[in-house]
Amino acid sequence: MKLKKIIESLNEWAPAELAEDFDNVGLLLGNAEQDVQKILVAFDVTPQVVEEAIEEQADLIVCFHPLIFKGLKKLNAAEPTAAMLMKLIKNDIAVFALHTNLDQTENGPNKEICRRLGIENSEVLIPAEQILYKLIFFVPEAQAEEVKSAIFAAGAGQLGNYSHCSFSSAGTGSFRAEAGAEPAVGEINQIHLEKEMRVEVLVKKNHLKEVIAAMKEKHPYEEVAYDVLLLENQSNQLGMGRVGNLVEPMNGELFLEHVKKVFNLKMLRHSTPLPLNVRRVAVLGGSGAFAIAAAQRQGAQAFISADFKYHDFFKGLENFMICDVGHYESEQWNKLIIKNYLSEKFPNFAVRISRINTNSVNYY
C-alpha cells in the first residue's frame, strides 16, 4: 500500500489543522509515494524503538510524540535525534506523528479516559475555534441538488449528529458572456438572467479544499461565484479535554483510589481531597495546567491531567480537586487507540504496537 493512502486516512481522522501552533505533526520523514507493508505504532521514537522497527522490518512508524519537534540545523550522528533520523533513512522507514491534533478529535484519547473512568455523556472541555468556514455559492435551480449532493459527499454540511445541513434561497443572477467565454447558458455579448439558488453550508477546515473542488466539478458554470468566510463558532465535537459525570458519585478518597486503579498508579499527586462526593470530572491527557480555569467553569469537582507545578495545586479549592496522574500515564492508551484505528481502516494490513515502554519517569 502506498504511504499516501495511510496518510489520507490519518488526516481524515485527526486533521493536521487541529494541531496547536507549537506542534509538529504529519509526515516527518519519508516519501508519500513509498510502499508500506508493516506499521509500528509507538508513543515516542527512541533509539530502542528505531531498533525495534528495523528488527520488525516495519516501513512506517506512527508515533504520538513527534520525533522532530524543534528545528534541526544539522544531521550529525553525535546528536541523538539526528542519529535516529539517519538510521531511519538508511533503513527506508518513514515517520508520521499524531499529537495535539489527535488530542482534539472527538473519539480520541480523552474520550478513552472518560470511558475507563466511567464518565458518561462527556462534552468537550475547551472547544476548538476557527475550524469552521461558511461556503456560499450561486447555482442554477435545475442543478442545485446535484451540486449540493456532491459537496455533502465531500464533507460539507455536518453539524453535530446532523448531516446534509444547508440553507438555500431563490434569486436571479445576471451576467454577460464576453468574447472567449463558453457559457453553459446565455449568448455571447448578451446580458442573461438566470433563476439561481444561493446555497450556504458549513465546512470544517480539513474538508474545505475537497468541498470546493467537488462544487466546481459539478457546477455547470465556467466561472463559479462563491464566498468562503472564516467563522468564530466553536466546535461542540472537537477540542481539548472532556468533562462529564461519573456513573456513580464517590467521596474524595474513594475517587482517588479509583483514579489510581484505572491509571495503574503507584502514587498520585493531588490537592486536598474533597469532603463531599465527586460526580463531575474533567480530564485532559498530557500537560493540562492551562485548562484548570476551564474545568472550574464547566463545574468540574475534579480535574485529572498531568505536569502540574507546585503553585498550580493552590488552585485546588474546597469544591475542586486537582489530580496529577503523570504525563505518560495520562496518555498510556494512545498507542492502542492509534493501532485500533489503523486496524479497523486497513484490516488486512500488518499493524503492531511497540513493545518499548518509553516512559522516562521512574518512581522508587
Are 204 and 155 a contacting pair, CB within 8 Å? yes
3-state secondary structure of 113: helix
Contacts of 256 (CB under 8 A, 6+ apart): 268, 270, 273, 323
Are 338 and 64 a contacting pair, CB within 8 Å? yes
Residues linked to residue 278 through DSSP beta bridges, in sequence order:
250
Contacts of residues 294-299 at CB distance under 8 Å and 24 or more positions apart, as own/partner, are 294/125, 294/126, 294/241, 295/125, 295/241, 295/243, 295/320, 296/320, 298/123, 298/125, 298/243, 299/243
Are 66 and 99 a contacting pair, CB within 8 Å? yes
Rounded Cα distance, 282 and 294, in Å: 9
Are 154 and 109 a contacting pair, CB within 8 Å? no
Half-sphere exposure for 202 (CA within 13 Å, toward CB): 16
Catalogue the E-assigned strands of the chain: 26-29, 38-42, 60-63, 94-97, 119-129, 132-140, 167-176, 191-204, 226-230, 234-250, 269-270, 278-287, 302-306, 321-324, 350-353
What grid cell was written down for 251? 467521596
Please check if 8 is assigned to a binding site. no
Please check if 103 is assigned to a binding site. yes
Please check if 327 is assigned to a binding site. yes
Residues linked to residue 148 through DSSP beta bridges, in sequence order:
none
Rounded Cα distance, 71 and 217, in Å: 40
What grid cell was written down for 13? 481522522
Residues in the chain: 364
Please check if 12 is assigned to a binding site. no
Contacts of 149 (CB under 8 A, 6+ apart): 218
Known binding residues are: 65, 103, 327, 331
Known binding residues for a divalent metal cation are: 65, 103, 327, 331
